Amino acid sequence: MSHWSLVIGPSSLVRGPVWVLSCLVLLLAVLPAAAVERFRPPDFTEHKLPETTTPEPPAPFWDYVDLGYLAVALGLATHLALVRRSRRGLLALSVISLAWLGFRRDGCICPIGAIQNVAEAVANPNYVMPFSVVAFFALPILVALFFGRTFCAAVCPLGAVQELVAVRPLRTPRWLDHCLGLLPYVYLGAAVVFATTGTGEDRAPYVICKYDPFVGFFRLSASATMLALGLGFLVLGLFVGRPYCRYLCPYGAILKLCSRVSKRHVRIPPEECIKCKLCEDACPYGAILEPTVEQSPRERLRGRRRLAILLAVFPLVVAVGAVLGHFTGVALSRVHPQAALAELVAKDDPGDVQADIDKIEAFRNTRRPPEELYAKARALHEQFAYAGAWLGGWIGLVVGVKLVHLSVRRRRDEYQPDRGNCVSCGRCFWYCPEEQVRAGLITVAQPPSAVQASSRAEPTSDASNTAEGGCATK
């Protein structure tokens, strides 16, 4: 027996594989270490991210189809309102606009929401606004500057849905109409503040879009609260003509200002007004102005004094508004998602609201230090205090201008649409006997005395709604 045969005995037959296994384990343990050596971790301290250019996404085809529809519909609505004076045509176009821009295209893009994109683009140079959104915002304004609010007459889906449900509109008391008529300007100011302070960042919806009462119907999906709000507006709209348009719509506020200085506008009589008063109560939107009566010298003097006082306190109203607005900064900032989240995390007491619990959980999972979030919230409070001062000043300005506007008397010799409030719906056309002469339904417009005897048997609002089914026969 050789020396080797002694070493490789029965026990060494077991020990051999153990050695091989041990070597393999050692090798596996060493390999990662070798790999670490070969690929040293990168050092990011001096690294600068390279400038990258992201190509613009292709323009969405349907946005341009919508834009084409908007341009054609605006032209058609203007023609129907100012040239053809066709209420029936305007109603038909309203139905088509509601179907296309509302239900088919989900109420988006819409010029009302585009206000916020424009505001954000002005405040933030890095924000790029698609051309279609700019055009959607600007086209109805341009048309309003030349021809009045024909966009509201038959193109806007929100206006259309309210126009169609206004079957028994009642007259809102003047004082209430004036007070509520300030709200669209306040809403406009608030929407601009929220858009310029980045409330729409992190894909959070802009406020106008979030609280659009009708978009839930268009998309056939919305929270219960928003559906109830939309339903409320529709039910209210049965008795109060276009409540959202008159008392909330911020785009309507812009169109109102443009329409006031429009080059042309719808007229109630096609030719000369014979002051028969038949149209006096025809407008469910309180947009018909009566001819003015001559004032006594004493009344004129009183009016001038009132105007002088108002002009004197005007700057004070604006200043008080700005100061009060400054103190609303913290409250306003809660609309910003980051400030709201900071408050939730700081309290860490979301109650039973699952959404709040989820938000806190999601924040924790990011492993961001809460202090960073609080610092952001503090910065937002300051930003909103500044923006709140602007908003308060804006509200003061709106109130001041309204009071001055009400105090200035303008002479009128005939019944005229109020260029700001009139939405060019054409309901009043058929109340005018001159219009019926134009349409060839009667041969002579009755003189005022004859008309007044029969006029109190007023045409119903149903008649005004069906318009060309109208009130006169040949």
List the one residue from 82, 191, 234, 249 that touches ligand SF4 (CB under 6 A): 249
- Taking the complex as a whole, how short is the minimal distance between the CB of residue 75 and ligand SF4, in angstroms? 17
Restricting to residues 122-181, which ones interact with ligand SF4 according to CB under 6 A?
Answer: 152, 156, 158-159
What residue type is assigned to position 471 of the chain? C
- Taking the complex as a whole, how short is the minimal distance between the CB of residue 148 and ligand SF4, in angstroms? 9
Residue with tokens 């309507």: 252
Alpha carbons 150 and 77: distance in angstroms, whole number: 6
Q: 416, 340, 413: which is closest to 374 by C-alpha? A: 340
Q: Interface with ligand SF4 includes 112 (CB under 6 A)? A: yes
The secondary element (H helix, E strand) that includes residue 41 is none
Phi, psi of 275 (to 5 degrees): 55, 45
Alpha carbons 110 and 116: distance in angstroms, whole number: 11
Q: Interface with ligand SF4 includes 245 (CB under 6 A)? A: yes
Restricting to residues 263-292, which ones interact with ligand SF4 according to CB under 6 A?
Answer: 266, 282-283, 285, 287-288
Question: Which x/- pattern over 60-99 shows residues binding ligand SF4 (rule: CB under 6 A)?
Answer: ----------------------------------------
Applying CB under 6 A, the site for ligand SF4 has a residue count of 25
Q: Which is nearer to ligand SF4, 322 or 428 (CB)?
A: 428
Residue with the closest Cβ to ligand SF4? 159
- Taking the complex as a whole, how short is the minimal distance between the CB of residue 110 and ligand SF4, in angstroms? 8
**DSSP letter assigned to residue 468:** G
List the one residue from 417, 420, 433, 470 that touches ligand SF4 (CB under 6 A): 417
Query: And the tokens for 156?
Result: 């806007």
Restricting to residues 360-389, which ones interact with ligand SF4 according to CB under 6 A?
Answer: none
- CA distances to 95, 333, 430, 445 from 440, in Å: 27, 60, 12, 11
- Taking the complex as a whole, how short is the minimal distance between the CB of residue 426 and ligand SF4, in angstroms? 5
Alpha carbons 142 and 162: distance in angstroms, whole number: 23
Distance in angstroms between the alpha carbons of the first and the last residue of the chain: 139
Convert 403-425 to b/e letters by CB count within 10 Å (16 or more is b). beeebeeeeeeebbbbbbbbbbb
**CB neighbours of 140 closer than 8 A, spacing ≥ 6?**
70, 74, 111, 151, 155, 156, 251, 255
Alpha carbons 169 and 178: distance in angstroms, whole number: 17
Q: Which is nearer to ligand SF4, 90 or 445 (CB)?
A: 90
| Cis omega (within 30 of 0) for bond into 109 | yes
- Taking the complex as a whole, how short is the minimal distance between the CB of residue 205 and ligand SF4, in angstroms? 18
- Taking the complex as a whole, how short is the minimal distance between the CB of residue 144 and ligand SF4, in angstroms? 9
The secondary element (H helix, E strand) that includes residue 416 is strand 416-417
- Taking the complex as a whole, how short is the minimal distance between the CB of residue 127 and ligand SF4, in angstroms? 23
List the one residue from 425, 432, 445, 467 that touches ligand SF4 (CB under 6 A): 425
Which span sits near ligand SF4 by CB under 6 A: 1-9, 204-212, 241-249, 384-392? 241-249
List the one residue from 427, 430, 465, 467 that touches ligand SF4 (CB under 6 A): 427
Phi, psi of 295 (to 5 degrees): -95, 150
Q: Which is nearer to ligand SF4, 247 or 394 (CB)?
A: 247
Residues that bind ligand SF4 (CB under 6 A): 112, 152, 156, 158-159, 244-245, 249, 251-252, 255, 266, 282-283, 285, 287-288, 417, 422-428
